[in-house]
A and B are shown apart, each in its own frame.
Chain A
């Protein structure tokens, strides 16, 4: 399905415009690494992103577009840089010492590493971690935490946000009678859905999920996956996963990372059923990883 651009400027001004031109017929084959820009405006895009931990280069020239209200999966073997990349999007890598980042990371048309207040950025790009990390407080206080730090004091408003967020995370029916009980008393799967509710409560536009089911049993995993497919109607979701089937089940687009590079990116069916790169094919068919 070739994408048709309505307007093509004769002189592309930004890297992104040049990338879009690459994907049109006019420019033929596109980039050597197979990168294709999405024709519609992506929520987040990176161009030529390099990241160093001290002398070690963890990301090499990563260019990716993430479309609105879609699920993008990052797959690849351990240590390939997919989690590192995820954390550059909401600047959680700032917490690591000796990190150096070059290149462009844009969210909502603005540079993540320049035009944003970090707190504002993280409010709009929420994150769910690998193992559930509810605070040692009540269920209610966990969900109300975000709205409170962003200044909401009104009791009724807080109660409403907490209920809506727990409902959106499909947890309300299980915890409505124990809102004042400790969040640490919930099961692992419930804790992870609580963490999702906690993120939803600050009303983000994007959800970053860093292997959100790797610490969970199959039943809890299925619940989280179901939740992701519900949430994608309203949120842009980026999920890092080790589980190939999971990426196949829940994502619209997939990017395959290897040694800090993006080997291939595209629609999930294309990546899984017609990978262009030999390395992608090898990884997907389970020959390494």
Chain B
């Protein structure tokens, strides 16, 4: 075997490689900066336009007239009702479905089909859910434009997210917890209830918080189902209006641009708060997972 031939000019043109590196780096930085820029501009613009119109009175009083005077207190209350009711309906169903899919169902065609369906459901435009909710809950069940119709529809909108995050959270519970429990003579159900679910709670919670944000911001699925009442709901059958719907109406019907910006500010602050809460929880989940996998474990919880 002869020794390798040496190339007099080295392996290639180092200068060109370095230039390409620098160009790529600049491009990537620019893209990142642009994305961040868009966010800052939108949020900043809304805040600048909205904050001057926000007052304690705006937050705590009912709208007068069509909404061009007064505040948004009933919409805040309705948004809370809507979120609570939707989650009460969707969370138990989603968590149970996720438990079935990860712990019980035989890994095969059925699970693949269901997972595929869930993925597609997550991609359906929410106006379609609105149309469905309007005809199914509103007309067929006779719930009309009501808190109930809106909550049921919103529950369907967030279920794919909830099922998927709960599935991921349950699947990431290490197998040795299950083995430890089963080896003590615990049944599968006891193992799931006492070990797997508690360990999956942070992940499930972050899915719930993401869903809250989605419901708070949902418009298309709700304006055909929730209604447009401007009073705080007193029953399930009341036609109501969430913050996002109120914003839509203020702009769409040209009622008041300042009030719309003020409402948008409240919405944005709410959603940023919810997202950072979810982010924090997801971070905590990842940390505990790392320590579980490492040889030495740290104290958690």
- Hey, which bits of chain A sit against chain B, CB under 8 A? 90, 92, 95, 119-123, 126-127, 129, 131, 133-137, 145-146, 148-150, 181-182, 184-185, 188, 191, 195, 198-199, 202, 215
Contacts and interface: CB of A to CB of B under 8 A. Distances in A.
B299 A119 contact: no
Contact of A182 (B176, B181, B300): B300
A151 to B, nearest CB: 10
A146 B185 contact: yes
Interface stretch (B72-80, B214-222, B241-249, B288-296): B288-296
Contact of A202 (B185, B299, B301): B185
5 contacts: A122-B185, A126-B184, A134-B180, A149-B187, A202-B184
B298 A184 contact: yes
Nearest to A120: B185
Contacts of A119: 185-187
B186 A188 contact: no
Contacts of A131: 176
Q: What interface size band does chain B fall in?
A: 20 to 34
A133 B301 contact: no
B64 to A, nearest CB: 53
A95 B184 contact: no
Contact of A198 (B184, B195, B198, B301): B184
B232 interface: no
B155 interface: no
Given A184-B291, A188-B295, A122 B182 contact: yes
A153 to B, nearest CB: 14
Given A120-B185, A149-B186, A188 B296 contact: yes
A215 B297 CA distance: 13
B288 A199 contact: no
Interface in B110-149: none
Contact of B288 (A129, A134, A136): A136
A235 B185 CA distance: 17
Q: Which 4 A-B pairs have the closest CB atoms?
A: A123-B185, A185-B299, A127-B183, A133-B176
Interface in B171-190: 176-187, 190
A199 B181 contact: no
A7 B46 CA distance: 95
Given A127-B183, A136-B177, 9 more contacts: A119-B185, A120-B185, A122-B182, A129-B179, A134-B180, A135-B195, A145-B186, A148-B194, A149-B190
A131 B176 CA distance: 9
Nearest to B296: A188
A123 B182 CA distance: 9
A242 B75 CA distance: 67
Nearest to A123: B185
B281 interface: no
B199 interface: yes
Nearest to B190: A149
B297 to A, nearest CB: 5
A95 B186 CA distance: 14
Contacts of B198: 136-137
A122 B300 CA distance: 29
Contacts of B178: 95
B265 to A, nearest CB: 41
Contact of A149 (B194, B199, B292): B194
Contact of B184 (A136, A137, A149, A215): A149
A136 B173 CA distance: 11
